[in-house]
A and B are shown apart, each in its own frame.
Chain A
């Protein structure tokens, strides 16, 4: 392979801004990422909270814990200001999908 050092120099800025998330591998993965992005405005992009956040991050939480918490919000077993109202907007299948996604992310 013939090398062209000026071209590499031209691409260097791009190499420094590698995206923080891997590209979704297929349509299903993209849909899951997009669904999870509905949580991001309050819980942080890809479930990563800001420093001193007053709501928990979601990345890396165990799948069964996430499913159980959402069920508790829905049923009124876990008290909340907003989350009990939002949890009721997601189906059980969507919650499973979200829990699997967040559980697979590093904390």
Chain B
């Protein structure tokens, strides 16, 4: 057996230092444990360092896969995720618009196990004991780890809008900002709405998950109304001073494809809702009543990150060292995806989360091998928005780590937007989705 990656004895020690018989026994299961007991000694296979990845979105799933790839299968990687399958947030607005089914944007987690040897645990991590390096699951089971990767996504701060938590719980006022059952529920509300009705979406102040997502959703709802309920209206009520992404393109689409149907209002910060009358109240402006109300509250890092004390930026987002995505609070915990405090011009997107995961996976493998982490990591982002069933606009960017400022900066001269919506980009957008799902999971 050759050890191309870890031929240096110091490196090998680093890999082995945390290994133990119980580690292997846990990995092998009960029968393996008995076998090990009778077979202890020099015949033991090389022990593995255990990496626990929490959260199976774009960030966590990519991290699990690339930790295996970058280590040549040497790391013992466990992914804990409560959902049975991966449902993509990107492309989920197409389900709301009626152009795609939920099955089209759903992929199994099983490929991570079958093709990459990731151990999958369908459960929720309830708490982290970073001193003992132990995660406790909702089921009560515990998982020990040597390295921890947290990709908890975002928590919607329902209580920042008075009445929203109850209205959301009883299904009257939905968010559908995590794709799945709620995506379908919002679709059903639109289908049940009579022609001549109003759909209103409220947008929180940036930063929030998926900057262009709410405006794409407005396009998708308008596309459905145009075909099936042409007397209806779409109101976009934005807490921000202007459209936060692809502004000129969305305005052009609303003016040319949906004239008189989509109305955009800036500086509308939602403060409360009345579930019975489907009315939303604002900090300054007049109340708005709608037939279908989609209220997106402010967001912060997923609850586990907050409970673990990692959300040190405005008590909302997790500060990380951008070279490794190690938490600035707990350097042995890596935080990825929408939960992190982003550098300027870094959107909270699935594509960026996929990129965070690769930088972190490489940094973890380098650190375990005794190598310096890459001083020049790169991130890319391509974000497509469907303005109807076929036509798409994009924003793209390339981000390079700038050592002097310890942050990522968009590379000067790179990146940009579509000139106009096109079907050609629609083809590329769906291709992007299929490919990034496969890169993340397959």
| Interface residues of A, Cβ cutoff 8 Å to B | 1-4, 6-7, 9-11, 13-14, 17-27, 30-31, 33-35, 37-38, 40-45, 49-50, 53-55, 81-82, 85-90, 94
Contact = CB atoms under 8 A, between A and B. Distances in A.
B431 A53 contact: yes
Contact of B366 (A22, A30, A85): A30
A17 B72 CA distance: 11
A22 B438 CA distance: 19
Interface in B402-442: 411, 413-416, 418, 422, 424-425, 427-428, 431-432, 434-436, 438-439, 442
B72 A19 contact: yes
A10 B70 contact: no
B117 A6 contact: no
A103 B354 CA distance: 24
B157 interface: no
A23 B74 contact: yes
Given A4-B43, A41-B435, A85 B28 contact: no
B359 A41 contact: no
Which 8 residue pairs spanning A and B have beta carbons closest together? A23-B72, A89-B398, A89-B414, A10-B32, A6-B35, A4-B39, A17-B117, A34-B362
A30 B435 contact: no
A53 B430 CA distance: 10
Contacts of B413: 88
A77 to B, nearest CB: 16
Contact of B70 (A4, A7, A30, A35): A30
Contact of A42 (B374, B398, B414, B436): B436
A25 B4 contact: yes
A34 B374 contact: yes
B129 interface: no
A92 to B, nearest CB: 13
Contact of A81 (B66, B73, B418): B418
A7 B434 contact: no
Given A10-B32, A43-B435, 20 more contacts: A3-B43, A6-B39, A7-B45, A10-B28, A10-B35, A10-B36, A17-B113, A23-B73, A24-B70, A26-B371, A30-B362, A30-B369, A34-B362, A40-B439, A42-B436, A49-B435, A85-B415, A87-B414, A89-B411, A89-B415
Interface residues of B, number: 71
A82 B436 contact: no
B256 interface: no
B402 to A, nearest CB: 13
Contact of B69 (A6, A19, A87, A89): A19
B276 interface: no
A3 B416 CA distance: 61
Interface in B64-106: 65-66, 68-74
Nearest to A11: B45
A35 B414 CA distance: 17
A53 B354 CA distance: 20
Contacts of A2: 39, 43
Nearest to B375: A31
B435 A53 contact: yes
Contacts of B358: 34, 37-38, 40
Given A31-B362, A38-B355, A82 B394 contact: yes
Given A11-B28, A20-B115, A55-B431, A38 B415 contact: no
Contacts of B34: 6
Nearest to B5: A23
Contacts of A81: 394, 418, 422, 424-425, 428
Contacts of B438: 44-45, 50
Among A4, A14, A24, the most chain B Cβ lie within 10 Å of the Cβ of: A24
A30 B398 contact: no
Contact of B411 (A3, A4, A11, A88): A88
A6 B36 CA distance: 8
B111 to A, nearest CB: 11
Contacts of B351: 41
Interface string B281-319: 000000000000000000000000000000000000000
Contacts of B365: 24, 30
A27 B369 CA distance: 9
A37 B149 CA distance: 19
B426 to A, nearest CB: 10
A33 B414 CA distance: 22
B82 to A, nearest CB: 24
A33 to B, nearest CB: 6
Contacts of B434: 50, 53
A9 B359 CA distance: 35
A50 B431 CA distance: 9
